[in-house]
A = this chain, B = another copy of it.
Amino acid sequence: MPDPDGQAVEVLSLADVAAAAKAVTSAAVWDFIEGGSGVERSLRANRAGLDAVYVLPRILRDVSRQSAAGVLLGSPVSMPVVTAPMAYQRLVNAEGELAAARAAKVADVPFTVSMLSSVSVEELAAAGGTLWFQLYWLRDRAVTLELLERAEAAGCQALMLTVDVPRMGRRLRDVRNGFTLPPGVTAVHLGGPETSAHRWQSGASAVAAHTQQIFDPTLSWSDLGWLRERTTMPLIVKGVLDPNDAARAAGAGVAGLVVSNHGGRQLDGSAAGIDVLPKIREAVDGRCQVYLDGGIRGGGDVLGALARGADAVLLGRPILWGLAAAGERGVNDVLSLLREEFDHAMILAGCRDLADVRQLQVVDSRAPMR
C-alpha cells in the first residue's frame, strides 16, 4: 500500500490502513465515515466490549488442517466475514463499490450491496462474487418491490433488511460539517442524479435530510411478513439488540440476524452488539444465524465474536479504509490481512474449524472469574 508520497506503507494491522486512508481523505468525508451519533458513546462501547473479550485457547489439537471456511445462508465463504452494507462508496474512490465487491470476490466473502450504493447491483453482479442486498424501508413501496426484483434478478443470495434506521442518527460531525454529497456520487438505485442529499443546508446533514425524506418509519413486524412472501432470497434482519426481538424474528422465519448498533451511528446510548450477543444467542436458540457487527478491527475480534456466539461478523469501516487508501488493492489488503489474522488466531486458539471457535470459553475482563 503506497502512502500519499508514493512510499510503501507496511500494513501489519488494520490501523495501518486507517492511517493511510485518513491521509488521503477529506476531513468531512472522513468524519462521515468514522463518526457516530451524539457524543459517540455507543461507537466507543463497540471497541470497549471487544477489548474486554479474552478467550481461552484449546491445546493439543492438530491444527495443521485448520480452515476458516464456512457456509453462510447457502453460500460457501472462505471465512466468517461479510462486508457490511455501506452507502456511497464512491465518496472515497472513483470505482467505489465495484472495487470493493471485486476484492470481496477475491477474498471469497459475500459483499453486501447497500440500497444506497453508488454503483448499481447489476454492475456489481457482473463482477461475479457472492452478493447480498441490503434494503431500507422506503416510503415508496413500488420502488422497494422493484429493487427486490432487481436484486433477485442480479443473483443476490440474501436480502438484508436494516431495521434500525426509522430516522438517521444525530451525527453531529456531519451536521457541523454541513455534510453534502458531491455531484458525482448518488444512490444509483433510487434514480436521478440529484437528490436532497446533494443540496447543502447550513447546519444540517443533507444525507440525513434525504434519509428522512425517503425512509418509512412505519416499518413493523407485519411488513417483515409481507417482505418475506415477496422474495425467495433468505431474509436477514439487521440492527437487533433486544433478545426478545431476536427471538421473535427467529420465530418469524428470518434466516439471519445482525446484532448491531449500526456502528454507533444510530441511537447514541444503545448497547454494543458484542455485549448482548450471548443473550441473543440464547434467545435465538439455533433457529437462525446470528451475525455481529460494530468495531471489528482484526482477526482476533472475529475469533472473540464467534466465541461469544456469532456465526459471522460484518466488517464495516475497514473496507472503506482499504478503498480510500488504495482502491481494490486496498480492500484486498484489508481482507487478506483479516484472513491471515483470523487463520492465525484460530491456529493459536487450537481451532480447526468454526465449530471449534464457537466453543471457545470467554472471560470478560470487566467481570472476572472468581
Contacts and interface: CB of A to CB of B under 8 A. Distances in A.
Contact of A164 (B59, B169, B266): B59
Contacts of A234: none
A56 interface: yes
A60 B349 contact: no
Interface in A135-187: 163-164, 166-167, 169-170, 172, 175-176
Given A45-B365, A176-B12, A266 B60 contact: no
Given A217-B347, A361-B242, A369 B62 contact: no
A103 interface: no
A57 interface: yes
B367 A242 contact: no
Contact size range, A:
35 or more
A347 B166 contact: yes
A7 interface: no
Interface stretch (A26-34, A86-94, A296-304): A296-304
Nearest to A246: B59
Interface in A242-295: 242-245, 266-272, 275-276, 278-279
B176 A10 contact: yes
Contacts of A58: 242, 244-245
A267 B349 contact: yes
Interface string A216-236: 111111011000000000000
Contacts of A364: 368, 370
B12 A221 contact: no
B269 A345 contact: yes
B369 A366 contact: no
A242 B304 contact: no
Interface stretch (A47-55, A77-85, A115-123, A192-200): A47-55
Contact of A220 (B42, B61, B243): B61
Interface in A298-333: 298, 300, 303-304
Given A61-B220, A220-B61, A56 B348 contact: no
A240 interface: yes
A23 interface: no
A188 B183 CA distance: 61
A64 B212 CA distance: 11
Contact of A218 (B48, B62, B170): B62
Nearest to A277: B369
A275 B114 CA distance: 41
B41 A51 contact: yes
A35 to B, nearest CB: 13
Given A54-B275, A266-B348, A368-B366, A300 B166 contact: no
25 contacts: A10-B175, A10-B203, A12-B170, A12-B172, A38-B300, A48-B365, A55-B269, A55-B271, A56-B241, A56-B242, A57-B270, A58-B245, A59-B240, A60-B163, A60-B223, A60-B224, A62-B218, A62-B219, A169-B348, A267-B348, A275-B368, A278-B370, A364-B368, A364-B370, A367-B370
Interface of A: 10, 12-13, 38-39, 41-42, 45, 48-49, 51-64, 163-164, 166-167, 169-170, 172, 175-176, 203, 216-221, 223-224, 237, 239-245, 266-272, 275-276, 278-279, 298, 300, 303-304, 341, 344-345, 347-350, 361, 363-370
